[in-house]
């Protein structure tokens, strides 16, 4: 096992100094359980990033499309299971516009917010969560090793991105387990955060309506890599 990619679980105690460097206790900072609180360190939320006209137009198109069942990636294969109930939908010709927008996000928006530089990002996917749709708690670039109480890096994703296209649904919150943080998606919001296990997250079940999200991931230039080359459909910058 390559020890280089194994990290002990992130499990700060409430009184411990917060990992963000604020000198506050974790429970008073990134781990706060208060409902009106700031997002944790490095969880960026840009409200209304995509305008209402565009989101409405895209949602109108997507509502007419049949979805393709999708699952979770396990050892390089996508496995459909009840841990992720969602459908992939395609925008057709409009996807070019979405790709252009994502290119801008990975060359400008995120680098400005996080002081980083990307080598590539994954071709954006649009996911629809019908009633009951959800995704189980997971980290985007690491898998938990029970016997070791540690995480192993399994993918070269460094930053995870979500762009919410609608908010006319119930349920479907995004929550970051280790930080006690719950975010309720709003139409047009762009959300991004590090892909490691500190930011393990889940999408709660949708209880009415359907929830649309664009998802993508970026890899930093000059970061240590698990794989010799990207394993997914990637766009180099
Ligand atoms: Zn903090």
Residue 82 has pLDDT above 90, yes or no: no
Q: Ligand 1 center to residue 201 CA distance, Å?
A: 17
The residue that leads in pLDDT, 13 or 83, is: 13
Residue 119 has pLDDT above 80, yes or no: yes
pLDDT of residue 94: 87
Q: Ligand 1 center to residue 172 CA distance, Å?
A: 25
Q: Ligand 1 center to residue 40 CA distance, Å?
A: 6
Q: Ligand 1 center to residue 27 CA distance, Å?
A: 9
Count CB-CB contacts under 10 A for residue 33. 11
Q: How far apart are CA 122 and CA 106, in angstroms?
A: 10
Q: Ligand 1 center to residue 20 CA distance, Å?
A: 4
Q: How far apart are CA 224 and CA 140, in angstroms?
A: 16
| 61-79 tens-digit pLDDT | 999 999 988 766 666 666 6
Count CB-CB contacts under 10 A for residue 153. 21
Residues 6+ apart with CB under 8 A from 159: 110, 114, 116, 118, 192, 193, 194, 195, 217, 218, 220
- Its CATH class, for the domain covering 43-236, is mainly beta
Residue 92 has pLDDT above 90, yes or no: no
pLDDT of residue 74: 61
Q: Ligand 1 center to residue 145 CA distance, Å?
A: 26
| 174-183 tens-digit pLDDT | 999 999 999 9
The model's confidence at residue 222, banded by pLDDT at 50, 70 and 90, is confident
**Are 190 and 163 within 8 A, CB to CB?**
yes
Question: Max alpha carbon distance in the chain (Å)?
Answer: 52
């Amino acid at each position: 096992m390559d020890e280089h990619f194994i990290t002990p679980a992130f499990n700060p105690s409430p009184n411990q100094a917060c990992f963000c460097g604020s000198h506050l206790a974790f429970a008073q900072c990134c781990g706060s359980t208060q409902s009106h609180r700031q997002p944790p360190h490095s969880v960026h939320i840009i409200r209304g990033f995509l305008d209402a006209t565009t989101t409405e137009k895209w949602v109108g198109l997507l509502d007419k499309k049949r979805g393709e069942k999708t699952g979770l990636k396990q050892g390089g294969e996508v496995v459909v299971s009840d841990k992720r109930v969602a459908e992939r939908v395609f925008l057709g010709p409009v996807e070019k516009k979405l790709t252009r927008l994502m290119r801008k996000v990975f060359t400008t928006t995120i680098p400005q917010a996080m002081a980083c530089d990307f080598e590539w990002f994954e071709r954006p996917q649009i996911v629809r969560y019908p009633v009951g749709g959800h995704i189980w708690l997971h980290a985007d670039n690491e898998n938990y090793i029970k016997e070791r109480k540690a995480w192993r890096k399994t993918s070269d994703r460094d930053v995870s991105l979500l762009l919410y296209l609608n908010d006319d649904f119930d349920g479907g919150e995004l929550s970051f387990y280790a930080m006690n943080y719950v975010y309720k998606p709003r139409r047009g919001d762009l959300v991004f955060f590090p892909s490691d296990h500190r930011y393990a997250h889940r999408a709660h079940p949708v209880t009415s309506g359907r929830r649309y999200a664009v998802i993508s991931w970026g890899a930093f230039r000059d970061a240590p890599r698990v794989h010799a080359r990207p394993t997914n459909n990637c766009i180099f910058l």
